[in-house]
Amino acid sequence: MQSTTFRKLALLCIGGMATAFTSCTPQTQPQAENGCEAEQTCESNKVIETIMSRRSIRKYKPAPVNRDTMQIILECGINAPNGMNKQSWEVRIVDNPEFIDGITEVYKKANPKAAEDPSFKNMFRNAPTVAFIAHDPGYDCSQIDCGLLGENMILSAWSMGIGSCCLGGPVRFINTNPDAAPYLQKLGFSEGYRLLYCIAFGYPDETPAAKKRTWDKVKYVE
Ligand SMILES: Cc1cc2nc3c(=O)[nH]c(=O)nc-3n(C[C@H](O)[C@H](O)[C@H](O)COP(=O)(O)O)c2cc1C
């Protein structure tokens, strides 16, 4: 049932995106002339709403993300801006519990304390679907490409009710622990590509509060 519903959703979204992306005349962006106008834009703008409401999710319902929905998320990912359109990324989606639980066992062996937490289900912050993202170290902007790809995936997912958590920790483990090597090999990245980070995805089972941000690091230069 879910699959059919999501297939329709996928077609609708892809159709919608295609219409938006292929319309002949470029849309003129509204110019905010004063703060008030900008505030009104913030309140009604879906993109801004998605960006501002997104949180990292670390508790998920057990079902993996429907693959049709994942397809839309990936479509949004690969449409991210990227240096010279080199698309210097490779992405592998894993929603196979054997893989996720198998590598988690390796992780638990090396970090027995991690599994003491009663909420611990797997090393990917308990997510049922994981996107592994590798970059081409031979291109100096490839990490930027991969970051932008991931943020597109994260935001498009959130806009469809899918939670996520960007993860560096598990990748550090996978890249350095010899017992994890068979799993890294199974991901099958091309020669020369290196696993950079992963993103946990799933249907959220928590609503965490926003973490505080600081403006101290941001300045206009006159
Ligand atoms: C490069 C990167 C690596 C991250 N690695 C981890 C991680 O290993 N484990 C984790 O739980 N969260 C990880 N996060 C998520 C951050 O902790 C989270 O984005 C940050 O605390 C801000 O919270 P928010 O995403 O809810 O706004 C990572 C995020 C980024 C961008």
For residue 113, what is the domain's CATH number? 3.40.109.10
Taking the centre of ligand 1 as the mean of its atom positions, its distance from the CA of residue 222, in whole angstroms, is: 33
Core vs surface per residue 98-108: b (16+ CB within 10 A) or e: eebebbbebbb
Domain-located, residue 3: no
Identify the pLDDT of residue 112. 93
Q: Is the CB of 121 under 6 A from ligand 1?
A: no
CA dihedral of residues 57, 58, 62, 67 (deg, nearest 10): 50
Domain-located, residue 57: no
Relative orientation angle of helices 2-22 and 67-78, to the nearest 10 degrees: 20
pLDDT score of 73 more than 80: yes
Identify the pLDDT of residue 117. 93
pLDDT score of 111 more than 70: yes
Taking the centre of ligand 1 as the mean of its atom positions, its distance from the CA of residue 31, in whole angstroms, is: 33
Ramachandran class of 87: left when φ > 0, alpha when ψ lies in -120 to 50, beta otherwise? left
Domain-located, residue 220: no
Name the band, by pLDDT with cuts 50, 70 and 90, for residue 74.
very high
Query: pLDDT tens-digit profile of 115-167?
Result: 899 999 999 999 999 999 999 999 999 999 999 999 999 999 999 999 999 99
CB 155 within 8 A of CB 165: no
Domain-located, residue 215: no
Expressed as residue numbers, the domain containing 140 is 64-208
Domain tally, the chain: 1
Domain-located, residue 47: no
Residue nearest to atom 8 of ligand 1 (CA): 169
Identify the pLDDT of residue 37. 62
Q: Is the CB of 212 under 6 A from ligand 1?
A: no
Q: Is the CB of 168 under 6 A from ligand 1?
A: yes
Identify the pLDDT of residue 26. 39
Taking the centre of ligand 1 as the mean of its atom positions, its distance from the CA of residue 126, in whole angstroms, is: 14
Domain-located, residue 68: yes
Distance CA 50, CA 199 (A): 18
Query: pLDDT tens-digit profile of 174-204?
Result: 999 999 999 999 999 999 999 999 999 999 9
Identify the pLDDT of residue 43. 73
Q: Which of 37-51, 65-79, 102-116 has the lowest mean pLDDT?
A: 37-51
Structure-token pair, residue 93: 């989606």
Domain-located, residue 213: no
Query: pLDDT tens-digit profile of 7-66?
Result: 433 443 444 343 333 333 334 454 444 444 666 677 789 999 999 999 999 999 999 999
Which of 59, 165, 176, 211 has the most ligand 1 atoms within 8 A of CB, as the residue to mutate? 165
Domain-located, residue 116: yes
pLDDT score of 214 more than 60: yes
